[in-house]
Amino acid sequence: MKDYIERKSNNMIADKMVNLVKNSSAIRAMFEEGKIMAAKYGAENVYDFSLGNPNVPAPAEVKQAVYEELEKEDPVVLHGYMNNSGYEDVRGAIAASINKRFGTSFGEQNIIMTVGAAGGLNVILKTLLNPEDEVIVIAPYFGEYNSYVSNYDGKIVVVSPNTETFQPNLEELEQKITAKTKAVIINSPNNPTGVVYSEDTIKKMADILRGKEKELGTDIYLISDEPYRELVYDGIEVPYLTKYYENAIIGYSYSKSLSLPGERIGYLVIPDEVSDAEDVIAAANVATRILGYVNAPSLMQKVVAKCLDAKVDVPFYNRNREALYNGLKELGFECIKPEGAFYLFVKSPVEDEKAFCAAAKKHNILIVPGSSFACPGYVRIAYCVSYETIMNSMPGFKALAEEFQVK
């Protein structure tokens, strides 16, 4: 099939899509393979750590809010259109919640409801990018950023990973900013490392961006992709970027914070302090419509507005984190203990981490190569699985440690 697409690309799908089909997400492919393996060997005998799919139920408040909205709201209103940016009362409630938590001063005009964080990133990139504009990402990073930037004919510029701490390589970031740099995307807590960018890191990054804006006479937007903000451990706090940098824009999702990945609900925060804020907000509103989203899901907007203080079972993930991290460390594997999200980023015992992933598959263990995140030589293990899956996978990891002479 792939060969056929390559031969006939001029007469069939768009050239850009040919490459996207060829390089389709390894993570999604592995997830699909995991389902096939589960059917063959039994789900209890397959240890699928490939996809970041939350496995704790949504808080009880979500179910209650769904029932309440369906019971009390006029269905014509509840399931109808609204402003492309979302319901005004929902946006106002979210703004008030953020202000209470972080000492900000947002209003409903600063919030745009989005079809998840991915939809929000596409909206803001559509809003900001001209062809050939550069967007800097910091490895390791979520590979779909490549596609999101490519959608609007932008260019990805990658800052290489700092594998000692996985904090951003700020010196290289500064070097890679040019007159064409329109935005920098960061993701903290980070997928795939679980690292939280420290306040010191954020302050230094903000200083670098301000300095470059002044030097180049341009605006550089710092886009913070935050689906994992609420999943943090050991009392770690995630800095709220708008308090450190004027041109910061937040993309938030309830996929992980409320375990609602399939509902596709999130929001953008575009502060008044952002350069040309009024135009950016207006353009993001229009982008929501013309990208085909039209508006974020109506019922879910109303639901999340009633669940702003609800929390998923973070202790569940923490138990998994401790079990997986301690178990692999005892076997001799190298990794940094994650501070947030639900991923462990492990150094491969061999340079070609894809060979290690292939070996793991022989033990029915599915893990993702670090090259999918622009960081070869590592593998990502998603611990949003049952505790039993982690414990039952340990004999397989032990066999891998022996096979690759991990010490």
The pLDDT score that the predictor gives to residue 29 is 77
Q: How far apart are CA 269 and CA 271, in angstroms?
A: 6
Q: How far apart are CA 326 and CA 321, in angstroms?
A: 8
The pLDDT score that the predictor gives to residue 10 is 57
The pLDDT score that the predictor gives to residue 21 is 79
The pLDDT score that the predictor gives to residue 30 is 77
> In the listed set 305, 320, 348, which residue is the last one of a domain according to the structure?
305
Q: Above 50 in pLDDT, residue 364?
A: yes
Residues 36 and 13 in one domain: yes
354's CB contacts (< 8 A; 6+ apart) are 369, 371
Please count the structural domains in the chain: 2
Q: Above 90 in pLDDT, residue 96?
A: yes
Residues 317 and 296 in one domain: no
How many beta carbons lie within 10 A of that of residue 248, not counting itself?
24
Q: Above 70 in pLDDT, residue 8?
A: no
- Percent of the chain past pLDDT 70, that is, above it, reads 96
Q: Above 90 in pLDDT, residue 23?
A: no
Average pLDDT over residues 243-256: 98
The pLDDT score that the predictor gives to residue 406 is 93
Q: How far apart are CA 362 and CA 46, in angstroms?
A: 10
The pLDDT score that the predictor gives to residue 15 is 87
Residues 223 and 266 in one domain: yes
The domain in which residue 275 lies consists of 60-305
Distance of CA 326 to the CA centre of its chain: 25
Residues 153 and 220 in one domain: yes
Query: What is the per-residue pLDDT across 69-86, written as a single tens digit (0 to 9) for each?
Result: 999 999 999 999 999 999
Q: Decide: 99 and 340 in contact? Cβ < 8 Å.
A: no
Residues 86 and 66 in one domain: yes
Q: Above 90 in pLDDT, residue 353?
A: yes
Average pLDDT over residues 176-195: 98
C-alpha distances (whole Å) from 400 to each of 106, 252, 267, 383, 395 are 51, 37, 42, 18, 9
The pLDDT score that the predictor gives to residue 31 is 77
> In the listed set 262, 282, 305, which residue is the last one of a domain according to the structure?
305
Phi, psi angles (nearest 5°) of residue 239:
-60, 140
The pLDDT score that the predictor gives to residue 16 is 85
Mean predicted lDDT score pLDDT of the chain:
95
Q: What is the largest CA-CA distance in the chain?
A: 65
Q: Decide: 253 and 225 in contact? Cβ < 8 Å.
A: no
The pLDDT score that the predictor gives to residue 283 is 98
Q: What is the CATH number of the domain that holds 348?
A: 3.90.1150.10
The pLDDT score that the predictor gives to residue 6 is 52
Q: Above 50 in pLDDT, residue 9?
A: no
3-state secondary structure of 334: coil
CA 95, 96, 97, 101 torsion: positive or negative? positive
Q: How far apart are CA 399 and CA 389, in angstroms?
A: 16
Confidence of residue 333 (pLDDT cuts 50, 70, 90): very high
Secondary structure in 3-state letters for 114-167? ECHHHHHHHHHHHHHCCCCCEEEEECCCCCHHHHHHHCCCCEEEEECCCCCCCC
Q: How far apart are CA 386 and CA 389, in angstroms?
A: 5
> In the listed set 276, 305, 334, which residue is the last one of a domain according to the structure?
305
Q: Above 90 in pLDDT, residue 43?
A: no
Residue-wise burial string across 147-175, b where 16 or more C-beta atoms lie within 10 A, e elsewhere: bbbbbbebbbbbbebbbeebbbbbebbbe
CA 81, 82, 84, 85 torsion: positive or negative? negative
Residues 169 and 280 in one domain: yes
The pLDDT score that the predictor gives to residue 25 is 63
Residues 105 and 248 in one domain: yes
Residues 123 and 163 in one domain: yes
67's CB contacts (< 8 A; 6+ apart) are none
Q: What is the CATH number of the domain that holds 199?
A: 3.40.640.10
Confidence of residue 11 (pLDDT cuts 50, 70, 90): low
Q: Above 80 in pLDDT, residue 313?
A: yes
AA identity, residue 77: V
**For residue 190, what are its two tokens?**
């980070």
The pLDDT score that the predictor gives to residue 2 is 52
